[in-house]
Amino acid sequence: MRVSAFSLMVGQLALACAGLAAPVGDGIFFDGRTYYEVPQSDLSVSPSNFSVACWVKTSVTNSQIFVNMGDAATGFTLYRYNVPGENGVRMLVEHDPAGGVKYLSAKGPPTPTNVWFHYVGTYDGSTIRLYTNGALRASQPAAVKRSAFAYALQIGAVPNFPDRMMRGAMEDVRLWNRTLTDGEVRDVCQGDSSGALTNSLVAHWASDGIGDASLTSAFVGGPEALRRDQASLLLANTKVGGFRGIWYYNQPSGDEYVYKYSGGMATYCAKHIPFAWYAPETNRTFFCYGGTDAANSTLLHMVSYFDHATGRVARPTLLLDKKTDDAHDNPVINLDDRGYIWIFSSSHGTARPSYISRSVRPYDIDQFQLMWSGNFSYPQPMYCPGKGFLFVHTWYVAGRGNYMMTSNPDGTVWTPRRELAYFEDGHYQISSAWSNKTGIAFNMHPKGKGLNYRTNLYYMESDDFGANWKTVQGGSLDTPLTNKVNPALVFEYESWPRNVYLKDIRFDSQGRPIILFLLSKGYEAGPANDPREWRIAQWTGSSWTNKFTGIVSDSNYDAGSLYLESDSRWTLIGPTEDGPQAYNPGGEIALWQSPDAGLTWRKVRQMTRRSTVNHTYVRRPVNAHPDFYGFWADGHGRQVSESRLYFCDKSGTVFRLPQSMDGEFAVPEKVVVSDGTVMVLVGNEGGTEQ
């Protein structure tokens, strides 16, 4: 009989500790949503001389935390780490926070689920050690260069990673402010808790200390561990005193334009849909955006609303700190058929987690609860009344793949992720809904050319909640699409060659798709890739038309929104006019109208003029109300700057959201363009302009 190396290793681990005192009861239960925490003020752990021990029985094999102090990769963490290329148990210590290598780990082998194993991690200021079932399994030299662990302690969790919460059971959790010897480790494994093992013991919890809201200490005077839920790890649910957008850049270019793109990115990007939603039941437009602090040091997911009855905006709620300054992690918003507000918090790639949160009460922004955690990019959720969410998104695998999943009506159960298209090197996509139809427009990254190249235009749609996907003519598509030559192709641009930048997608009164996109010679900023043409692909019922609007821009990342007020009267609002930072994203905002379904266009109003920084990414709310018709931010195109947020009404009048607020509500500032000069009229709490 052949015995696998893993089975042999498991047997060796199980036999390592003679007189093994494995728990006989259920232990302390962890369901992946609850954990325990000791406030920093209640527990002090020496960063140069400590030990941690616990019994663990995991029920799943994913990465999960046993005992942790600090954010991820700070302080110390005893945990299971399961990612491609590594699967095992780690004792991680941040020994040198200011160094080039901040933390190191002693790494042991994996252990099976539903079996009790005993783990001990020690650190003596020079070496990290990991023990399993009383035996030393790994050691790692790491010279201490720090003076304190200024963190709370978590059992079963680490801040900002709810997908790594403990699932299973733990027992006999202990911490010492000294390094245990090999013999003492064996004694702890055998269940001893007397004599020298009480020396420098600073914390001890066991299942017989489980209370209604905490774990009481196993010894008199020890700290208790408070029960928390996963939302406490992540959701701030606090108010801030005004509106401030994130400034972001991507890919330094080494020329006068400084970056491939940059600027005020609070409503970035065109593949995040939507940022605002009008709810007629309350006569409010709810919106979210990527905010930041005064130093532009981190991305904050913010939620607020504009009350159309009072003309005032609510003090924004800080939902969560995304722990990055990457605006690709911006949130989007939805409302379900009961009025609950949903925030989908994105991630750029797979390095950071993504979240779905829901308001605790309908039509209320004061408090949210975490509903789902995992990973997705470029979120485009669409709530279908009575059915649930059809969630179109990107998932980074070898490149950018087009994916979807659906939920039940309550958003509490989600289907497995399903791939819709992945060919060449992946795609960007935008989507929209009409009646019971969902339509997706997407481009492709040609094989081997890099993600800055995106070309061709494709379209697919579903009228059965994503179960089946079709061409615009109604022909069935075999998903996932795996070849660039396929029935979803609308226009071929690879041979021109031209880059295709997707901007918006709408439907006429018969449900026929209309796709707004920008055509460019290349990805680099500057005049060499002019002209950058705003174009419209429209399905007539028998063929696709390709209309050049006559509008040109100076940046591939000039993004606006298309409005269909009727089948013939169309409006486009976007930064089509040159701004102060030419050839960087955005510019001055203009309102264009077409009386003949996009055949001809006329600029009827320049909405901003002589701005000091560019205006970027005008976004259309779902069910857009005439008084809150477009939503965007501004920011310098070539250097870090503050970013302000704006909205406009249907006629093109512009309002700016207040950067500071004294009360719970404020009147937005009206921006008046007169003779080339921008004036800001500041409203007070009573609504009178000054």
Q: Which of 503, 522, 552 is the last residue of a domain?
A: 552
Residue 547 CA to residue 519 CA, distance in Å, equals 11
Q: In one letter, which amino acid is 64?
A: Q
User: 73 in a domain, yes or no?
Assistant: yes
User: 459 in a domain, yes or no?
Assistant: yes
Q: Cα 235 from chain centroid?
A: 13
pLDDT of residue 280: 98
The dihedrals phi and psi of 307, each to the nearest 5 degrees, come to: -90, 110
User: 40 in a domain, yes or no?
Assistant: yes
pLDDT over 70 at 15, yes or no: no
> What's the CATH number where 82 sits?
2.60.120.200
Average pLDDT estimate for 652-679: 85
388-396, strands of its sheet edge to edge? 377-384, 388-396, 400-406, 418-421
Domains: count for the chain: 3
Q: Which of 536, 552, 568 is the last residue of a domain?
A: 552
User: Tell me: the pLDDT tens digits for 232-248?
Assistant: 778 899 999 999 999 99
DSSP string, 620-632: PPBT-BTTB-EEE
Whether the bond between 497 and the residue before it is cis, its omega within 30 degrees of 0, is: yes
Buried b (16+ CB within 10 A) or exposed e, 339-351: ebbbbbbbbbeee
Q: Indicate whether 228 and 244 sit together in one domain.
A: no
DSSP character for 328? G
The dihedrals phi and psi of 71, each to the nearest 5 degrees, come to: -65, 175
The dihedrals phi and psi of 566, each to the nearest 5 degrees, come to: -160, 180
Q: Indicate whether 321 and 439 sit together in one domain.
A: no
The dihedrals phi and psi of 250, each to the nearest 5 degrees, come to: -140, 125
Q: Which long-range contacts (CB under 8 A, 24 or more apart) does 383-392 make?
A: 383/334, 383/335, 383/336, 383/337, 383/342, 384/433, 384/436, 384/465, 385/336, 385/337, 386/337, 387/465, 389/334, 389/342, 390/433, 390/438, 390/462, 390/465, 390/466, 391/344, 392/429, 392/431, 392/438, 392/440
pLDDT of residue 374: 83
Q: Indicate whether 76 and 174 sit together in one domain.
A: yes
pLDDT of residue 674: 63
Q: Which of 157-161, 208-212, 375-379, 457-461 has the weakest average pLDDT?
A: 157-161
Range(s) of the domain holding residue 514: 401-552
Torsion of CA 87, 71, 106, 3, to 10 degrees: -20
Residue 400 CA to residue 344 CA, distance in Å, equals 19
Q: In one letter, which amino acid is 575?
A: P
Q: Measure the CA angle with vertex 633, ends 632 and 636; round to 5°.
A: 145
Q: Which long-range contacts (CB under 8 A, 24 or more apart) does 93-99 make?
A: 93/123, 93/128, 93/142, 94/70, 94/146, 95/47, 95/123, 95/128, 95/142, 95/143, 95/144, 95/145, 95/146, 96/142, 96/143, 96/144, 96/145, 96/146, 97/145, 97/146, 98/145, 99/145
Q: Indicate whether 190 and 86 sit together in one domain.
A: yes
User: Tell me: the pLDDT tens digits for 570-597?
Assistant: 999 999 999 999 999 999 999 999 999 9
Q: Cα 265 from chain centroid?
A: 14
Strand runs (DSSP E) across 44-166, as ranges? 50-58, 64-69, 76-83, 86-93, 104-108, 117-123, 127-132, 135-141, 153-155
pLDDT over 50 at 603, yes or no: yes
Contact call for residues 513 and 472 (beta carbons, < 8 A):
yes
Contact call for residues 390 and 382 (beta carbons, < 8 A):
yes
User: Tell me: the pLDDT tens digits for 518-528?
Assistant: 999 999 999 99
Question: Number of H helices and number of E strands within the chain?
Answer: 3, 50
**Entry field: residues in the chain:** 690
pLDDT of residue 143: 96
User: 39 in a domain, yes or no?
Assistant: yes
Contact call for residues 617 and 586 (beta carbons, < 8 A):
yes
Please give the biggest Cα pair distance in the chain: 90
Contact call for residues 517 and 502 (beta carbons, < 8 A):
yes
DSSP string, 241-296: SS--BPEEEEEE-SSTT-EEEEEE-TT--TTS--SEEEETTTTEEEEEEEE--TT-
User: Tell me: the pLDDT tens digits for 93-141?
Assistant: 999 999 999 999 999 999 999 999 999 999 999 999 999 999 999 999 9
**Minimal CA–CA distance to 168: which of 307, 90, 305, 57?**
57
Contact call for residues 614 and 576 (beta carbons, < 8 A):
no
User: 613 in a domain, yes or no?
Assistant: no
Q: Indicate whether 668 and 519 sit together in one domain.
A: no
- Any residues with CB less than 8 A from the CB of 405 and at least 6 apart, and which? 391, 393, 414, 415, 416, 417, 418
DSSP character for 476? B
Residue 334 CA to residue 380 CA, distance in Å, equals 9
Buried b (16+ CB within 10 A) or exposed e, 30-64: bebbbbbbbeeeebebbbbbbbbbbbbbbeeeebb
Q: Indicate whether 332 and 187 sit together in one domain.
A: no
Q: Indicate whether 223 and 250 sit together in one domain.
A: no
User: 578 in a domain, yes or no?
Assistant: no
User: 602 in a domain, yes or no?
Assistant: no
Confidence band (pLDDT; 50, 70, 90) for 678?
very low
User: 638 in a domain, yes or no?
Assistant: yes
pLDDT over 50 at 38, yes or no: yes
pLDDT over 60 at 29, yes or no: yes
Q: Indicate whether 245 and 228 sit together in one domain.
A: no
Q: Rounded to whole angstroms, what are the CA distances from 95 to 105, 125, 182, 400, 412?
A: 10, 8, 22, 36, 41
pLDDT of residue 19: 61
pLDDT over 70 at 170, yes or no: yes
Q: Indicate whether 33 and 178 sit together in one domain.
A: yes
Contact call for residues 110 and 80 (beta carbons, < 8 A):
yes
Q: Which of 180, 212, 233 is the last residue of a domain?
A: 233
Residue 672 CA to residue 541 CA, distance in Å, equals 43
Average pLDDT estimate for 254-273: 97
Contact call for residues 585 and 262 (beta carbons, < 8 A):
yes
Contact call for residues 301 and 347 (beta carbons, < 8 A):
no
Confidence band (pLDDT; 50, 70, 90) for 229?
confident
pLDDT over 70 at 506, yes or no: yes
Q: Which of 6-10, 158-162, 566-570, 675-679 has the weakest average pLDDT?
A: 6-10
Contact call for residues 562 and 593 (beta carbons, < 8 A):
no
Q: Indicate whether 637 and 502 sit together in one domain.
A: no
pLDDT of residue 386: 95
Strands 76-83, 64-69: pairing kind? antiparallel
Whether the bond between 480 and the residue before it is cis, its omega within 30 degrees of 0, is: yes
Q: Which residue has the tokens 């937005």?
A: 668
- Any residues with CB less than 8 A from the CB of 664 and at least 6 apart, and which? 239, 314, 315
Residue 424 CA to residue 411 CA, distance in Å, equals 33
Q: Indicate whether 301 and 220 sit together in one domain.
A: no
Confidence band (pLDDT; 50, 70, 90) for 687?
very low
Q: Indicate whether 534 and 431 sit together in one domain.
A: yes
